Amino acid sequence: MSSDYADDAVDKALERSDFFKRARGSLGPLIALILICAVMAFLSKSFLTAGNWLNILQQVSMVSIIAAGMTFVILMGGIDLSVGSIVAFTGLITAALMKYYNIDPWQAVALGIASGAFLGFLNGIMVAYMALPPFIATLGMMSIARGGAFTITNGDTIFSLPDPFLIISERIGRIPIPAIIMLITFLVCGYVLNFTRLGRYTYAIGGNETASLLSGINVMRCKTAIFTISGLCCAISAMLLTSRLDSATPVAAEGIELDAIAAVVIGGTSMMGGEGRISGTIIGVLIMGVVNNGMNLLFIPQGPQKIVKGAIIVIAVMVDIIRKSRQGNN
């Protein structure tokens, strides 16, 4: 049989089903995002302006980069509670290297990012080779990294960082550099998840770990790599935060793990692992960002803001579950 014939047959028969399958993955969250935007646009005139949107991108850039790494971990069937602490730790290390040791800012950034990746790597070692449940391993790391951050400066904050370092949080034209870094991160993560072995194995391990093992996948190495990616994302995010605040503090990014997890889950990724996509996470992050921004524009106080955020998480996941059970019926 000629291979052309095969090509055509496969393509013709399958392209359509494939398209729908891929589209419906993040369709639910996307509709939610559009609805929320519509409501906000109705309530506030300044919402739809380019300036406001660039602001939103700037605001979500930090948590979204963490959420990108978290997507890997959750898809693999794990969870990473240590992200906030790793952000604080790497931010502080970088600041300390620049301020106390007078190391060149770019070298300090490189070292800081390496330290974040290393903490993630340690998470991976604990989960993969010591068989600790991810919840426990990263809960431990959460405390260790936070404690490490406190120890470096005795709990003090480091202020006034060198100018070159502050460039990270500036703008090129009107576009915030953090937004650009965020975009690049998502493109890279999306590429890795969808087109590389590591990405395929992330889905495979989350979907059925035994099957992955028996198919000859080096599951332990993959898990280590995935937690390292999460640590790396935290470190990148830490640079944005530290630069933007022009200071590093050991209490930075407390509780950010919950925002990151929420974004991933709102984006339709299953907490059980194996199912979900990075585009969903982008949408999840934007939903949270838009809601935050909108409520600020409307001068809604912190208390109600939190209530609304919580409700959105619950509703988003509920809608997704209902949608999926409907699909199962067809």
Smallest separation (angstroms) from other proteins to the CB of 202:
11
Residues that contact other proteins, how many (by CB under 8 A):
32
**Residue 207 is a binding residue for other proteins (CB under 8 A):** yes
Q: Restricting to residues 27-46, which ones interact with other proteins according to CB under 8 A?
A: none
Looking at residues 265 to 284 of the shown chain, list those that interact with other proteins (rule: CB under 8 A): 274-275
Query: CA 289, CA 263: separation in Å to the nearest integer?
Result: 10
Residue 177 zone, left/alpha/beta (φ > 0; ψ -120 to 50; rest): alpha
Instruction: Among 2, 102, 210, 302, indicate the residue that binds other proteins (CB under 8 A).
Output: 210
Query: Which among 14-22, 59-67, 82-90, 177-185 is the span making contact with other proteins, rule CB under 8 A?
Result: 14-22
Strand partners, 171: 176
| H or E element at residue 172 | strand 171-172
Tell me whether residue 192 or residue 290 sits nearer to other proteins (CB atom).
Answer: 192
Sign of the C-alpha dihedral computed for residues 55, 57, 58 and 63 taken in this order: positive
DSSP state of 41: H
Half-sphere exposure of 127 (CA within 13 A, CB side): 32
Q: How far is the CB of 328 from other proteins (least distance, A)?
A: 9
Closer residue to other proteins (CB): 17 or 102: 17
- Of residues 46, 49, 218, 296, which one binds other proteins by CB under 8 A? 218
User: CB-hemisphere CA count at 13 Å for 214?
Assistant: 4
213 near other proteins, rule: CB under 8 A: yes
Secondary structure (3-state) at 166: helix
Identify which of residues 33 and 265 has a Cβ nearer to other proteins in the complex. Answer: 265
CA distance 223 to 202: 8
Question: What b/e readout covers 216-253, taking b as 16+ CB neighbours within 10 angstroms?
Answer: ebebeebbbbbbbbbbbbbbbbbbbbbbbbebbbbebb
21 scored as a contact of other proteins (CB under 8 A) = yes
Q: Would you count residue 3 as binding other proteins (CB under 8 A)?
A: yes
Which CB atom, from 4 or from 163, has the smaller least distance to other proteins? Answer: 4
The yes or no reply on residue 203 touching other proteins (CB under 8 A) is yes
Q: Which residues bind other proteins (CB under 8 A)?
A: 3, 6-7, 9-10, 13-14, 17-18, 21, 195-198, 200, 203-204, 207-208, 210-218, 274-275, 329-330
